[in-house]
Structure 1
């Protein structure tokens, strides 16, 4: 009698259990990383708004050096949002314009409204509030 040898080929690939384990691991990593990513985006937008607020404060100082007052500068505010072009994440306002003082206010807009700092204010002495956000 002649024996017939059967050839078994090595099967390659993934089975369903292995694939599901990989999907679960990717889901866990995404659940941890995505909120952290969103917080970093908020912090970057906040830093950009703070830079724009300081630019407005510099504008106010130039206005004061030409006019010896801060009053009246609001009519010529060079920009009213941060970033200055594109989608606004902060609305910028000049408030409390007097002969000797001013406030630059940044109000979060849209998705940036979830920022923990909320509305930020910078005054003529370069003091920013809330203090923990500067």
Structure 2
């Protein structure tokens, strides 16, 4: 018959949970992994949003060019080309809806008859993207960006 008060049996029964040291080691490992992964994730999200904003600028430029073929001027739109073109006349594309609050799309200044500059201005979620702040695209297809390193912004 087994003795319930045997010293080996009571020692096994006492070792059922985690010690504080083991728990702190796990917390430290999770903290280190988070410290490495979170900045990488944030940079990835900024780059993805920037690429989407660039694609949306291209789509808005295509709409502007189609409007030009109708009115023969970038600064006019509407029936009979009687309405002055401003950022308010840009179409509500799906990409603009998807990026609402992240980027604001519009003209940097009201377009002239022969030229325009579209821009995507970053909002609060994209504010950390200092390398490529505001993206621009003009009637000649020239892509630009303001920021610390704008050369790679349109990749």
TM-score range, shorter chain: 0.7 to 0.9
Residues 4-83 of structure 1: pairs in structure 2 closer than 5 A? 6-9=6-9, 10=12, 11-73=15-77, 74-75=85-86, 76-79=89-92, 83=96
Unaligned runs of 5+ in 1: none
Alignment of 1:132 with 2:130, yes or no, is no
- 2:91 is paired with a residue whose SS is coil
Deviation at 1:24, TM superposition (A): 0.4
Q: Judge conservation of contact 1:49–1:90 (CA < 8 Å) in 2.
A: yes
What is the CA deviation profile of residues 54-84 of structure 1, one whole-angstrom value per residue up to 9, with x for unaligned ones? Answer: 1110001101111111112434211399642
What is the count of residue pairs matched by the alignment? 131
* Greater displacement, 10-19 / 78-87: 78-87
Alignment of 1:120 with 2:135, yes or no, is yes
CA distance in 2, matches of 1:87, 1:28: 34
Q: Judge conservation of contact 1:105–1:121 (CA < 8 Å) in 2.
A: yes
* Greater displacement, 124-133 / 38-47: 124-133
Unaligned runs of 5+ in 2: 78-84, 146-150
Query: For the structure 1 residues 99 and 86, does the alpha-carbon distance in structure 2 shift closer, same or farther, using more than 3 Å as the test?
Result: closer
CA distance in 2, matches of 1:126, 1:108: 21
